[in-house]
């Protein structure tokens, strides 16, 4: 898997938070907010659309895997 910062991946691209094949898959949904001078990006778990979270743009994520 390839490491990237969350701000570098495109909207609707799949990613994982840890470098493991068993880790949950997330998708960047495109929403973003600014808090305390930092931009946070919205993401949700692919298997559970009700599980949403905001991550900082400098968060390291893992892409380039087959889902």
Q: What is the pLDDT along the chain (67 residues), one digit of tens a residue?
A: 999 999 999 999 999 999 999 999 999 998 889 988 889 999 999 999 899 999 999 999 999 999 8
Both tokens of 31, joined, read 């929403």
pLDDT at residue 64, rounded to an integer:
95
| Token reading at 54 | 């905001």
The confidence score (pLDDT) of residue 3 equals 97
Q: Which of 61, 24, 65 is nearest to 41 (CA)?
A: 61
Question: How far is the C-alpha of 48 from the C-alpha of 62, rounded, in Å?
Answer: 19
In three-state secondary structure terms, 1 is: coil
Q: Give the pLDDT score at 40.
A: 94
pTM (predicted TM-score): 0.90
Under CATH, which architecture does the 2-63 domain have?
Roll (2.30)
């Amino acid at each position: 898997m390839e490491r990237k910062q969350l701000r570098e991946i495109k909207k609707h691209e799949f990613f994982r938070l840890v470098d493991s094949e068993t880790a949950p898959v997330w998708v960047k949904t495109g929403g973003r907010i600014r808090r305390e001078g930092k931009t946070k990006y919205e993401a949700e778990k692919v298997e559970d659309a009700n599980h949403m979270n905001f991550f900082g743009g400098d968060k390291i994520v893992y892409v380039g895997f087959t889902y």
